[in-house]
Amino acid sequence: MARKRWRACPECDLVVALPALRAGHSASCPRCRRELTYRARMPAERVLAYASAAIVMLLLTLPYPFLTFSLGGMQENIILLDTVTALRQSDWPLLGLLIAMSIIVLPGMYLLAVAYVYGSVASRHYWPGSVWLARAISHIKPWLMTDVFLVGVLISLVKLLTLADIGFGWSFWAFCGYVVLMAKTVSNVDSDWLWFALQDEPAPPTGTQLGEEAWSQHLVGCNICGLLNRPEDIHCRRCARKIRIPGSHSVERTVALLVTAAILYVPANVYIMMSTITVGGVVESTIMGGVVQMLEMGSYLVAAVIFFASIVIPVLKIVVLGWLCYVVRYGQPMSMQRRARWYRVTEFIGRWSMIDVFVVAIMVALIQAGVILSISPGPAAAAFAAVVILTMLAAMSFDPKALWQPARVNTQAQEWIDEKH
C-alpha cells in the first residue's frame, strides 16, 4: 500500500489512508464521519474562475449606490462603505472596523490569496509566497461573513419599510453576486488537494499504523495541511506551521473565553442595542426589544431569525462548549459521535450571531444619508460583537480530539510539554 496521503482525522485523531477519488466524490473518517476531503472536477480552474469573478463583483459593490431611501419628499443613496464610516462618525470606530474586516478586507484578502495560490497550481509553476498564502487561507476562512451581512441587510430593510421607501442600487445586486461566488469559492477549496498539488507529500514517519490514533503512536496531524509529524519536529515538514499538541491547555483556554463571553452577554442584553429618533419620539430597543418589535409588525420570520441568531445561538454555544469542556475533564455517558456532532454545530453556527450587529450598521448608515431619521448604536452592540468573537475563538481553541480520549490526550500532552520544559 502506498504510504502517501495518510491522515490523522482532525476530530477523532484516527490515522486513515485517503483513497484515490474521482470528481464529485468525498472521503470521510470511518469512525467519526468527519469529511476529510472532496474532489471537484477541474479543481484549480474551477476555484480560480469563482475567485476571480468574486473579486470583480467585490470591486463593483464599492463605488455604486447600495440602497436608496425616500422619506418626506427626500431621496438619498448610501454606498456599502457608509455602513463603516457611519459607525466611525457615531464614535464606534471599532465596530466600523469589524464590519469592514468581515465583509470587505478579509474576504478580499481571502479571494486574492486563493486566486494567487490556485493560479500557481494551474500554471504548474511555483509562485513565490504560495505556501504562506495557502496557510493564510485556512486562518481567514472562519471570519468570512458576507452571507451573514446580506441576511442582516434584508432584516434591516424589513424594519425600515414602515419608516421609508426602500430601493436597491446596482451595488446591492453586485453584492448578492459576490456572496454567491464567495460561497462557491469556499465550498470548492479542498485543502488536502491544494497542499498535495503545491508541495507533493512526504511519506508518514516510519512505523505509522493505520486504524490507530495518531497520538498513541507519538504523531500529530498538522491542522493546516494534514501531514503527519512527530511532535519533536516543532514545525510541520510540509507547510512549516507550528505543530499544535492535542489537548494541551485547550480546555483552560476555552473555559476562559467562554466565561468572558458569558459576562459580556449580560450587558449585551440589558443595555440599548439601537436608538431611533423620529417625529413620533425616541425608541430605544434592546436585542429582545427588537424581536418584540418585529412580532408587533407581523414580521414573524424576521423575529424568529433575530431571536435565534441573537438569543438562542450565543447561549447554546456557551452552554454546549462549556458542557464539552466538562465532558473532557470529568466524563459523561454519551456516545462519541454525538459529542462530535455537538461540537460541529457550535463551530458552524457561531458567526451567524453577527446578524444583529450588521443590522445596526445598516440602520446607522441611514443617518449619514440625511434621511429624516436619527439612528445610533448603543453600548450593547459593542458588547454583543465581543460575545460573538469570543465564542468563535472558544470553538477554535477547543480540541475535539480530547472528546474521544479525554484523560489520555490531556495527560500525555501535558507530560510532553513538561518534558520539553
How buried is 297 (Cβ within 10 angstroms: 0-12 exposed, 13-18 middle, 19+ buried)? middle
* 169 lies in some domain: yes
Do 42 and 48 form a contact (C-beta atoms < 8 A)? no
* 17 lies in some domain: no
**Collapsed DSSP state (helix, strand, coil) of residue 166:** strand
Residue 216's pLDDT is 83
- Give the model confidence (pLDDT) of 284-303 as tens digits: 778 888 788 778 777 777 78
* 309 lies in some domain: yes
* Low-confidence winner among 12-26, 85-99, 251-265 (lowest mean pLDDT): 85-99
**Collapsed DSSP state (helix, strand, coil) of residue 17:** strand
54 vs 320, which has greater pLDDT? 54
Residue 221: strand pairing partners = 228
Gap between the Cα atoms of 292 and 299, Å rounded? 10
Query: What is the enclosing helix (H) or strand (E) of 89?
Result: helix 82-89
Residue 421's pLDDT is 42
C-alpha cell at 96: 466600523
Gap between the Cα atoms of 36 and 12, Å rounded? 12
C-alpha cell at 246: 492535542
Among candidate residues 151, 184, 152, the one with its CA nearest the CA of residue 57: 184
Residue 71's pLDDT is 65
* 152 lies in some domain: yes
C-alpha cell at 413: 500532552
Residue 280 — very low, low, confident or very high, per pLDDT cuts 50/70/90? low
- Give the model confidence (pLDDT) of 329-348 as tens digits: 776 655 677 777 788 888 77
**Domains in the chain, number:** 1
pTM for the full model? 0.85
Gap between the Cα atoms of 326 and 398, Å rounded? 12
Among candidate residues 97, 131, 99, the one with its CA nearest the CA of residue 117: 131
* 234 lies in some domain: no
* 226 lies in some domain: no
97 vs 91, which has greater pLDDT? 97
Residue 411: pLDDT above 80?
no
Gap between the Cα atoms of 383 and 357, Å rounded? 10
Gap between the Cα atoms of 225 and 107, Å rounded? 21
* 23 lies in some domain: no
* 204 lies in some domain: no
- Size (the chain), residues: 421
Instruction: Give mean pLDDT, residues 372-397.
Output: 83
Gap between the Cα atoms of 67 and 353, Å rounded? 23
299: DSSP letter: -
Query: Counting runs of H as helices and runs of E as strands, what totals does the chain give?
Result: 16, 12
C-alpha cell at 406: 479525554
| CA angle 387–135–249, rounded 5-degree value | 50
Which residues constitute the domain of residue 88? 41-189+242-420
